[in-house]
Amino acid sequence: MLCIPASAQDTYLDSINVLLASNPGEERTAELLWDAAYYTLDIDETYTRQYTEPLLELPTIKADSTLLIEALRVQSDADRWTGKYTKGIENFKTCYDYYTRMQDTTNIIFCANHLGSMKVFMGYNQEAQKYIFEVYDLTKAQGDPAEIGHATNGLAIFYTNIGQDDKGIERYIEALEIFEEVQDTIGQGRLDTLLNYPRGLGFHFDFMGYLRSEQGRHEEAYEMYTTALTIRKELPSNYNISESRVCVASSLFELGRYDEAIQQAQIILDEERIQLHLDIEDVEIDVDTLVPLGLIINELVTNSLKYAFPGERLGKLNINLREEAERLKLTVTDDGVGYDKTTTKQSSFGNKLIASLTKQLKGEMTALATSGTEVSIAFKQYKLSRR
């Protein structure tokens, strides 16, 4: 029996769910699941697996290796952005091996980009290097100058991540020269090649700003940093906004626009209105638990900073993490204004991400709004590091 995913409070998905519930036959079911999988991958990856899992179980999909791998690729893509790194790497490797056998260069590059990026994130730099350099070699063999520029930029990002700044700057300059030669002004900031995803735009403009600054082209550096800050302001969370403000302030200082630089710095300093207290037990957590847990904490803290302390209100934010009765218990509290359960948007991207990741770790969440807000999650399924 096909398991119909819960409503994502989206009219398009709701209509698909209604059709799926009517048992329209295997061919039509596959069409609907494909549509939903691609759609959720674009708007909210927390729901993608709910459509790819039944898709992978359909006999017609199992019987067609091309369709099977494509469904697995979509699921792996979603897994990466929802913190399932170990499973994502495993499935991307399966796809990578298949595309290698089929000599499908475009999809080899796609999978290798993701594998390289996730390996870097997990600290497996030697393994990451293999994939990142393969992307560069394959792209160079294809001969598209703009794509070679993006692949070169990917090498630069890799070198920067492993602390080889001189090589990183050398590659940035090489990428910039390629972009300027082909007059690919859009391509210069389209996306960063290592991430190969629009979310990498902020990082890409940061790196380009850094390069311009190293060249003494501070007006252009300011434009790049400002673009990165603008992009991050429009994202669902506050990830890296403070870092962007530091870059903008630094550029303004170099341009002699001291009052504006002070304004940007003051915005960062204002965050000190909130006192952060950490009570974290010394527990070594496996990456399968660490990644989703980190995403949950990021969203909870972001919600608190956004909504709990309006205006110039002072406050405290507490994060507690410890093992209790064979559970990993996370508690995030603030002494802010609290929240109204009747008006809080549970359908927001951040809240849906928290709910999805909590379910992934078999967690039980409680939220209290008395003198501030307290969110507690007790995780049943978590792994300790085997170091």
Average per-residue pLDDT for the chain: 81
Is residue 233 predicted with pLDDT exceeding 50?
yes
Question: Poorest-confidence range of 115-124, 206-215, 245-254, 368-377?
Answer: 206-215
Q: What percentage of the chain exceeds 90 in pLDDT?
A: 30
Question: What is the edge-to-edge ordering of all strands in the sheet holding 274-280?
Answer: 274-280, 315-324, 327-334, 373-379, 363-368
Query: What mean pLDDT is predicted for residues 188-202?
Result: 48
Question: Which alpha helices (DSSP H) does 44-144 contain, by range?
Answer: 48-57, 59-62, 65-81, 85-102, 105-121, 125-142
With 0-12 / 13-18 / 19 or more C-beta atoms within 10 angstroms meaning exposed / middle / buried, residue 208 is: buried
pTM value > 0.85:
no
Query: What mean pLDDT is predicted for residues 7-36?
Result: 87
127-180 pLDDT, tens per residue? 899 999 999 999 999 998 888 888 888 888 788 777 787 888 788 778 878 877
Q: 123 and 290 in contact (C-beta within 8 Å)?
A: no
Is residue 123 predicted with pLDDT exceeding 90?
no
258: left (phi over 0), alpha (psi -120 to 50) or beta: alpha
**CB atoms near residue 46 (< 10 Å):** 20
pLDDT band for position 76 (50/70/90)? Answer: very high
Is residue 237 predicted with pLDDT exceeding 90?
no
Closest CA to 157 of 171, 146, 147: 171
Q: What percentage of the chain exceeds 70 in pLDDT?
A: 84
Query: What mean pLDDT is predicted for residues 232-238?
Result: 65
Is residue 209 predicted with pLDDT exceeding 70?
yes
Query: What mean pLDDT is predicted for residues 106-131?
Result: 88
Q: Give the model's pLDDT for residue 210.
A: 78
Is residue 199 predicted with pLDDT exceeding 60?
no
Closest CA to 132 of 95, 103, 161: 161
**CB atoms near residue 131 (< 10 Å):** 27
Q: Give the model's pLDDT for residue 250.
A: 83
Q: Of the spans 64-73, 183-192, 249-258, 268-277, which averages the highest pLDDT?
A: 64-73
Q: Give the model's pLDDT for residue 271.
A: 55
- Domains identified in the chain and CATH numbers: 274-379 (3.30.565.10)
Q: Give the model's pLDDT for residue 139.
A: 93
CA distance 139 to 152: 9
Closest CA to 194 of 207, 181, 182: 207
With 0-12 / 13-18 / 19 or more C-beta atoms within 10 angstroms meaning exposed / middle / buried, residue 270 is: exposed
Is residue 193 predicted with pLDDT exceeding 60?
no
Is residue 97 predicted with pLDDT exceeding 90?
yes
Which value, to the nearest 10 degrees, does the dihedral of the CA atoms of residues 84, 86, 92, 98 take? -140
39-60 pLDDT, tens per residue? 988 888 888 999 999 999 999 9
Q: 349 and 313 in contact (C-beta within 8 Å)?
A: no
Q: Spell out a b/e string for 312-327, using b for 16 or more CB atoms within 10 Å of the CB, else e.
A: eeebebbbebeeeeeb
pLDDT band for position 1 (50/70/90)? Answer: very low
Q: Give the model's pLDDT for residue 268.
A: 65
Higher-confidence residue of 117 and 57: namely: 57
Q: Give the model's pLDDT for residue 190.
A: 42
End-to-end CA distance of the chain: 42
